[in-house]
Amino acid sequence: MEVLEIKHNGQVLPLRYTGPNCIKEIKKTGNKFFEIGMLDAISKLPYRRGIAMDIGANTGNHTVFFSRFCNFDEVWSYEPSKDTFEVLKANVADHCKRTVRLFNCAVGDKKGKVNFSDNKENPSENKVLPGRGKTTVLPITTVVTVRLMKIDVEGYEAKVLKGARGVIDRDKPELFVECHGDPEELLKLLPDGYRIVKRYNNAPTYHFTANG
């Protein structure tokens, strides 16, 4: 683990990171938030009341940004790795200004048990595998409106979208989904009216919208 002094909007935030690729990229940009181009685009989205979901939150880079520099009412963050989850909790406790709800589980198309890889050299590349571990389906609740989902789950994104279909049907959130395959295949899993806006990041991440 390494603590980096992240600089944004005149603020300096000491954030904990564990992934070597992520750390290298942050240092290359002069200690800006990881994937800052995408995060800046998210911060400029038209305001609609609701929450952001950070699915595959890792150590909380995106969660902290959503909490401090966006207009979401709350942030809900999902991270299945127990070790990484502890780092996420620490970063949230130190730096988040809005309500952040943390969930130590994977998200998929059904409730059950999964195995989760344990990459000590690069925890950000951990993946959901069949077997042990906890996974859940995103609940459809009338208490909150989901405005945005950021999904970075190392190949598990189709199952996340299938499990979240009820929420997506109802709320039409903005979706930012990492996908190393054909994004058109993910588009087929979404309700009619969704389209691809733009690709971001070295690890290809696509913005899908049903708005505007």
* pLDDT computed for residue 112 by the predictor: 72
Residue 119 pLDDT more than 80? no
pLDDT band at 129 (very low <50, low <70, confident <90, very high): low
* pLDDT computed for residue 106 by the predictor: 86
Comparing 112 with 84, which gets the higher pLDDT? 84
Give the angle 120-125-127 at the CA atoms, nearest 5°. Answer: 100
- CA–CA dist 205, 63 (Å, integer): 17
* pLDDT computed for residue 19 by the predictor: 87
Taking residues 55-66, report their average pLDDT. Answer: 97
Taking residues 44-54, report their average pLDDT. Answer: 93
Question: Which backbone phi and psi does 208 adopt, to 5 degrees?
Answer: -110, 135
For the 34-209 domain, the top CATH level (class) is alpha beta
Q: Which residue is it, tokens 């925890």?
A: 123
Delimit the domains of the chain by residue range: 34-209
- CA–CA dist 60, 81 (Å, integer): 13
Least confident of 16-20, 26-30, 113-117, 129-133: 129-133
pLDDT band at 44 (very low <50, low <70, confident <90, very high): very high
User: What distances in angstroms separate CA 211 from CA 46, 147, 148, 149, 203, one per listed residue?
Assistant: 10, 11, 12, 14, 25
